[in-house]
Amino acid sequence: MRLKSFINEGINDKGILKACFILGIPGSGKSYTITKIKSGQIETRVVNTDKVFHLFGVEKWTEWQGIKDKVKKLNKTQLANYLNSLLPLAIDGTGSHPSVIFRRYGLLESLGYDMAGIFINTDLETAMQRASKRERPVDPEFIEESYRKINQAKSFYKTKFRNWKEIDNSEGELTNEVIIKSFNFMNNFYNSKLLNPVGIGMVEEMIENGWKYMSDGVREVAEIKTILDAWYKM
**In contact, 106 and 99? CB cutoff 8 Å:** no
pLDDT tens digit sequence for 23-32: 998 888 888 8
How far apart CA 144 and CA 154 sit, in angstroms, is: 16
How far apart CA 44 and CA 24 sit, in angstroms, is: 19
CA nearest to 90, candidates 204, 171, 185: 185
Degrees to nearest 5, angle at CA 52 with 83 and 151: 80
Mean pLDDT of 63-69: 59
Q: Is the pLDDT of residue 1 over 60?
A: no
H or E stretch including 67?
Answer: helix 64-84
How far apart CA 78 and CA 81 sit, in angstroms, is: 5
Q: Is the pLDDT of residue 7 over 60?
A: no
Q: 2-230 falls under which CATH superfamily?
A: P-loop containing nucleotide triphosphate hydrolases (3.40.50.300)
Domain residue ranges in the chain: 2-230
Q: What is the pTM of this model?
A: 0.85
Average pLDDT, the chain: 84
pLDDT at 2: 39
Q: Is the pLDDT of residue 218 over 90?
A: yes
pLDDT tens digit sequence for 170-200: 888 889 999 999 999 999 999 999 999 999 9
